[in-house]
Amino acid sequence: MVIMDDYARLFRLDGRRALVVGAGNGIGRESALALAAHGADVIAADLDAEAAAATAELAGGQGYPLDVLDGAAIQRAAAELDELDVLVFTAATNVRKRLVDYTDDDFDRVIALNLASSFRLIRAFGGPMAERGRGSIIGFSSIRATTVEPGQGVYAATKSGLIQLLRTAAAEFGPRGVRCNAIAPGIVATPLTAQIRADEAWSAAYASKSALGRWAEPSEIAGAVVFLAGDAASYITGSCLMVDGGWTAVDGRYTPPA
């Protein structure tokens, strides 16, 4: 029987080491801070070494410069940052163009960061986690994995592909104690969405699409990371948690009078 104190500890991460890739700003930064607030020993990794160090200082952890487009660098990180309990990766990019306007370079750029680097991170860190018999891997998908619009095709394909990649990892690593899940945010005020938020009409249109009628702050996504990282989610794997303010639950095009 579970006692009250056990439930109180479900969201604690004391004694666990967490690597957050993309921790220099936005959702990654807030995820690192939230994990640290719940007791985790956080390693804040980012291409921007100064930004990683700044997040690490706030989290009381370690900064780690990491270029996820460099496969060898990922392998080195996996060797150096041994004994991880949690891996969170948030790094992504988007090129907003219609498919016929996409160049091969545009395509390769989005695929490389959003999908190929995710694969390499899962492979490099998931294997050792499985050997130790424990771990939680959390990758960031998007509402665009299920709902698209003109100009989002390649980005959407990567975010849908990431869910399937994590589901496969869940199937392969699950018998050895490693859980793998995705989080799919809606519209969040991050550097990636600065172009949209700079356009008042575009920003307002997006805000009105969700059930809550507003944009999210990065800190509002961090709770989902803490949940999936720890024992509160001990029987959750191969899932995608929508954190989208109801965007994918409602029609959003028109509110009828009755």
Residue 254 binned pLDDT confidence (cut-offs 50, 70, 90): low
In the prediction, which pLDDT does 4 show? 64
Determine the structural domain holding residue 25 and report its residue range. Answer: 10-243
Residue-wise DSSP of 69-109: T-HHHHHHHHHHS-S-SEEEE---------GGG--HHHHHH
In the prediction, which pLDDT does 3 show? 67
Task: Give the catalytic positions in this structure.
Answer: 155
Q: What is the largest CA-CA distance in the chain?
A: 60
Is residue 254 assigned to a domain? no
Is residue 253 assigned to a domain? no
Whether residue 1 has pLDDT greater than 60: no
Whether residue 6 has pLDDT greater than 90: no
Is residue 258 assigned to a domain? no
Whether residue 36 has pLDDT greater than 70: yes
Structure tokens at 167: 């589901």
Is residue 47 assigned to a domain? yes
Residue 171 binned pLDDT confidence (cut-offs 50, 70, 90): very high
Is residue 157 assigned to a domain? yes
In the prediction, which pLDDT does 7 show? 87
Residues 6+ apart with CB under 8 A from 250: 209, 210, 211
Scanning the structure block, which residue is given the tokens 């009381």? 60
Average pLDDT over residues 6-30: 95
In the prediction, which pLDDT does 82 show? 82
Is residue 248 assigned to a domain? no
Is residue 3 assigned to a domain? no
The tens digit of pLDDT for each residue in 80-135 reads: 998 999 999 999 999 999 999 999 999 999 999 999 999 999 999 999 999 999 99
In the prediction, which pLDDT does 194 show? 86
Domain count, the chain: 1
Global pTM value:
0.94
In the prediction, which pLDDT does 8 show? 81
Average pLDDT over residues 184-209: 90
Is residue 45 assigned to a domain? yes
- The CATH number of the domain holding residue 118 is 3.40.50.720
